Structure 1
Amino acid sequence: QPNMHELIRKHVKRLLNDYIQSPILIDGLDAYIVPPGLGNESGVLGAFALAKHLHG
């Protein structure tokens, strides 16, 4: 869903309620909460990377 990340950003901002004073969260939430860079393959590739890291 194209609007999902925007909804998540708004929800996070509301939940934080200025509790954490960080420029990343105050000004850069659009760059902090982003869609996965590997698209639909992110979960599978992440699982393989974790397994390789744990088991060599």
Structure 2
Amino acid sequence: MHQTHLFPRIRHHVAACINGYVALPDLDTFIVPPALGDRAGVLGALALAEEVVPWP
């Protein structure tokens, strides 16, 4: 998510979709760029795969 200008729009859309049905955390700190950067998806997939098939 190098398109940081999209985060305010995403937060607004999430808040609109929830429409007050549930309490939301502070969306400015909840919806943020991935801490692992561009590798977040790959590392997340590896973590899930390791849960299914443990590394020897």
- Report the TM-score range of the alignment, normalised by the length of the smaller protein: 0.7 to 0.9
Determine the C-alpha separation between the residues in 1 that align with 2:52 and 2:27.
Answer: 32
Q: CA deviation at 1:50?
A: 0.9
| Among candidates 9, 33, 36, match of residue 35 of structure 1 | 33
Aligned ranges 1:17-56 → 2 under 5 Å: 17-20=19-22, 22=23, 25=24, 28-56=26-54
Q: Aligned-pair RMSD on alpha carbons? A: 1.2
Structure 1 runs not aligned, ≥5 long: none
Q: CA deviation at 1:16?
A: 1.3
Q: CA deviation at 1:48?
A: 0.9
Question: Aligned partner of 2:9: which letter?
Answer: L
Query: Percent sequence identity over matched residues?
Result: 46
Question: Aligned partner of 1:33: which letter?
Answer: I
Residue 4 of structure 2 aligns to a residue in which SS?
coil
Residue 10 of structure 1 aligns to a residue in which SS?
helix
